[in-house]
């Protein structure tokens, strides 16, 4: 009967050793999976940041192009307005001349024409400033896009730190499980030796 009890005790001790080994293997696999997950998250985050940075750079280029377009549109609007103002002045001269108004140096008619020229010059300045303001707004947008692209580049560069695996390495995890299990095995061994099984 003692032999059966001893055999069962040895089998029980063997299962405790096997359980400890399985725990160590499981801990190592869990740690390795954690490392792989962190590496995958890092790669995905880097790719997302890099893609977003490229989109932001494209948006910045588009905004710069729009700024140039705004300036060109301002030139066209200015030219069109100058033509309209020139046509208005020509009509005024024609109406004044047809009415028999003298266009000499002391004429109030010249004051009317001078006022027309002054208002036209003012309006041309407003058109130019509006175009420059719209272009400036587009350049600001481009700068904002470039700034966001720089932040995305930083995010891509810092992703390995942000998503770093902070748990134990597989060898550390398995060593810890083995040490913990060794205590259980030693405790069981001591109890069996004390009982006289060994």
pLDDT in tens, 110-165: 889 999 999 999 999 999 999 999 999 999 999 999 999 999 999 999 988 888 88
pLDDT(86) > 90: yes
Look at residue 2 in the predicted model and tell me its pLDDT: 64
In whole angstroms, what is the distance from residue 160 CA to residue 137 CA? Answer: 36
pLDDT(78) > 60: yes
For residues 97-115, give the mean pLDDT. Answer: 84
pLDDT(104) > 90: no
In whole angstroms, what is the distance from residue 106 CA to residue 67 CA? Answer: 46
pLDDT(196) > 80: no
Q: What global pTM score does this model have?
A: 0.67
Where does residue 167 fall: left (phi above 0), alpha (psi -120 to 50 degrees), or beta otherwise? beta
pLDDT(1) > 70: no
140 φ/ψ angles, rounded to the nearest 5 degrees: -65, -45
pLDDT(55) > 50: yes
Contact in structure between 13 and 189 (CB atoms under 8 Å):
yes
| Nearest to 141, CA basis, from 25, 65, 63, 79 | 63
- Long-range CB pairs of 134-141 (<8 Å, 24+ gap) are 134/67, 134/70, 134/74, 135/67, 135/68, 135/70, 135/71, 135/74, 136/67, 138/63, 138/64, 138/66, 138/67, 138/70, 139/63, 139/64, 139/67, 141/59, 141/60, 141/63, 141/66
Number of H helices, E strands in the chain: 3, 0
Look at residue 75 in the predicted model and tell me its pLDDT: 97
Pull the structure tokens for residue 117.
């020229």
For residues 52-64, give the mean pLDDT. Answer: 98
For residues 172-179, give the mean pLDDT. Answer: 89
Look at residue 189 in the predicted model and tell me its pLDDT: 84
Q: Which residue, chain included where needed, has tokens 């890099």? A: 50
pLDDT(105) > 90: no
pLDDT bucket at 13, cuts 50 / 70 / 90: confident
Q: What integer best gives the mean pLDDT of the chain? A: 91
Number of Cβ within a 10 Å radius of residue 29 = 13
* Pairwise pLDDT comparison (9 vs 24), residue with the higher score: 24
Positive or negative, the CA dihedral 144, 149, 155, 157 is negative
């Amino acid at each position: 009967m003692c032999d059966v009890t001893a055999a069962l005790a040895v089998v029980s001790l063997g299962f405790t050793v096997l359980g400890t080994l399985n725990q160590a293997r499981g801990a190592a696999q869990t740690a390795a999976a954690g490392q792989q997950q962190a590496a995958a998250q890092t790669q995905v985050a880097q790719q997302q940041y890099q893609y977003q940075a490229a989109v932001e750079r494209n948006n910045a280029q588009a905004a710069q192009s729009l700024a140039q377009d705004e300036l060109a549109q301002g030139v066209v609007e200015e030219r069109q307005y100058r033509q309209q103002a020139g046509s208005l002045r020509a009509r005024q001269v024609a109406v004044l001349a047809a009415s028999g108004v003298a266009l000499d140096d002391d004429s109030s008619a010249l004051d009317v024409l001078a006022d027309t020229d002054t208002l036209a010059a003012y309006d041309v300045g407003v058109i130019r400033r509006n175009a420059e303001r719209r272009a400036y707004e587009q350049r600001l947008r481009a700068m904002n896009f470039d700034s966001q692209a720089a932040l995305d580049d930083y995010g891509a560069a810092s992703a390995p730190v942000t998503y770093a695996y902070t748990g134990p390495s597989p060898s550390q995890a398995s060593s810890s499980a083995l040490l913990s299990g060794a205590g259980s095995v030693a405790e069981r061994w001591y109890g069996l030796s004390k009982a006289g099984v060994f």
